[in-house]
Amino acid sequence: MSRVVTILGSTGSIGKSTLNVISRHTDQYHVRALTANTDVEAMVQQCQQWHPQFAVMRDESSAQQLEDVLRRQGSVTQVLSGVQGLCQVAALDDVDTVVAGIVGAAGLLPSLAAAEAGKRILLANKEALVMSGQLFMDAVEKHQAELLPVDSEHNAIFQCLPSAKTRVANDSGISKILLTASGGPFRTFSNEQLALVTPEQAITHPNWEMGPKISVDSATMMNKGLEVIEAHWLFDVALDDIEVVVHPQSVIHSMVSYADGSVLAQLGNPDMRTPIAHALAFPDRITSGVEPLDIFEVAKLEFEKPDFQRFPCLRLCYEAIRMGGSASIVLNAANEMAVAAFLDNKISYTDISSLIEQTFESMSVDEDVSTIENILAVDARARDIVGEYIAKK
C-alpha cells in the first residue's frame, strides 16, 4: 500500500533526510505537500524533483517568490503561505502520514493540526510536546492519531519498548529510560573556555549533521533537556525514571532498563535516515541508505554522567518539568530567542542559560495552559521579556 506524505520542514535536515529515504522507495510513498520557511531556492529544487500538489512557505514574501518561479517554469504545484497553509497541508484528507520536522515553536500548530486530523505523525519537532504536552497527547488520543518518534533517541526507546508501545504501562516491567547524549563539542571545556565559544564553533557537531539552532541546543545540552521533557510526555514516564547518559560516540541512541536486570539498547551509525525509515515503514523495515554499524571500527563505547554545572540548560529543563504549569513554554521561548541572539553575535554563549534563568524569575509559571490560545500567549510574553533583556546587552 502506498502512503501519501506531507513533509513539514522539507528544506531542513529532517526533511531532506526524509526525501532521501523516500527516493529509495518511490513505489511505496507519494509526496503530496512540502513546506519551508524562507528557503525558496531549495523549495524550487524540491518541487522540480517531487512535483507535490502543494508547496507552503511560512513566510509570505517567500511564498510569492516561489509562486513566481514555479509559474515561470510551468509547474502546477499550488503555493500556500503562512501558518494557515501549514495547517491545511498537515490535515489534507488524502494524506495519511505527516513528517513534523519544523524546528521550534513554529512547528506546534501544524503538528497539532495533524493530530486533530487523525494522521500518522512522524514527530521530530520536540517543541510540540515541550510546549503543549498534555494538550497534544490528549488530541492524539481523542482523534486516534498515531504518534511515532523520529528523534533518534526517542525512536531508539520506542524500538526497545515491549511490542513497540509508545506509552509505558505500570505492569510492563520497565524500571528506567536511559536517554543518551553525545555531550556536544564542548563536553570537556572549562568555564573559561565556554565563555569564549563562537557561533561557528557551536554549530559544528562532532557526530550529527543538524541545523544551526539544534546544533547550538546540542552544544548547551538544552536539546537533551527538551528530549527529557518530550520523553516524559511521549512515553508517560515519571521524571525520576528518565536518566541522561553522556555517550560521546553516539552509537547507542538510547536504552531501556527492565526490572529483571535487562537493558535493551538500539545501536546504529549517527544518521537520521535510520529512525526516519523505521517510522515511515513501521511496523515493517525498509532500507534507509545508512551503512550498517561496524562494531569493530567503533571499538569502544564510553559513558559519563552529565555535568549540570557545565550544562546549566540541562538542569533548567529538569527544573521546568518539576515546576509544571507554563514553565516548559517559558523555557522553550526564552531559549529560542537566546539562541537566535547568540547566532547573531548579540550575546555570548554563556548568556543563553543566564537569559533563560532571568526569564523564569520575571514570569509566573502558574498560568493556565489548557488551551492552545493560552499556550501561545505565554510563549509570546516570554519572548517579549527575553527580547528586552537581549536589547540591554
In this predicted model, what pLDDT tens digit does every residue of 217-266 receive, in sequence order?
999 999 999 999 999 999 999 999 999 999 999 999 999 999 999 999 99
pTM of the predicted structure, to 2 decimals: 0.92
Helices (H) and strands (E) in the chain, counts: 17, 11
- Across the range 145-156, mean pLDDT stands at 96
DSSP per position, 121-132: EEE--THHHHHH
pLDDT at 184: 87
Q: For residues 105 and 375, which has the higher predicted lDDT (pLDDT)? A: 375
Given a cut of 70, is residue 169 above it in pLDDT? no
The CA angle 325-161-224, to the nearest 5 degrees, is 45
Which residues is 29 bridged to in the sheet?
3
Q: Are 124 and 198 in contact (CB under 8 A)?
A: no
pLDDT at 172: 80
Q: Identify the band that residue 165 occupies on the pLDDT scale cut at 50, 70 and 90.
A: low
CA distance 342 to 336: 10
Q: For residue 7, which amino acid is it?
A: I
Strands (E), the chain: 3-8, 29-36, 54-57, 78-81, 97-100, 120-123, 146-149, 174-181, 242-246, 252-258, 263-267
pLDDT at 211: 81
**Other Cβ atoms closer than 10 A to 330:** 28
CA distance 56 to 202: 30
Nearest CA to 39 out of 70, 65, 4, 73 is that of: 65
CA distance 273 to 16: 9
pLDDT at 22: 98
Given a cut of 70, is residue 166 above it in pLDDT? no
The alpha-carbon radius of gyration of the chain (Å, integer) is: 20
Given a cut of 80, is residue 272 above it in pLDDT? yes
The tens digit of pLDDT for each residue in 178-229 reads 999 999 889 989 989 999 999 999 998 766 667 889 899 999 999 999 999 9
The tens digit of pLDDT for each residue in 113-128 reads 999 999 999 999 888 9
Cis preceding-peptide flag for 292 (omega within 30 of 0) = no
- Among the listed ranges 72-76, 282-286, 389-393, which one has the minimum average pLDDT value? 389-393
CA distance 336 to 338: 6
Q: Name all domains of the chain by residue range, CATH numbers in brackets.
A: 3-149 (3.40.50.720)
Which residues is 146 bridged to in the sheet?
120
Q: Are 66 and 40 in contact (CB under 8 A)?
A: yes
Given a cut of 70, is residue 356 above it in pLDDT? yes
- Among the listed ranges 32-41, 167-176, 192-201, which one has the minimum average pLDDT value? 167-176
Q: Are 146 and 123 in contact (CB under 8 A)?
A: no
CA distance 166 to 159: 9
The tens digit of pLDDT for each residue in 68-109 reads 999 999 999 999 999 999 999 999 999 999 999 998 889 999
Average pLDDT of the chain is: 94
Given a cut of 90, is residue 363 above it in pLDDT? yes
pLDDT above 90 covers a percentage of the chain that reads 87
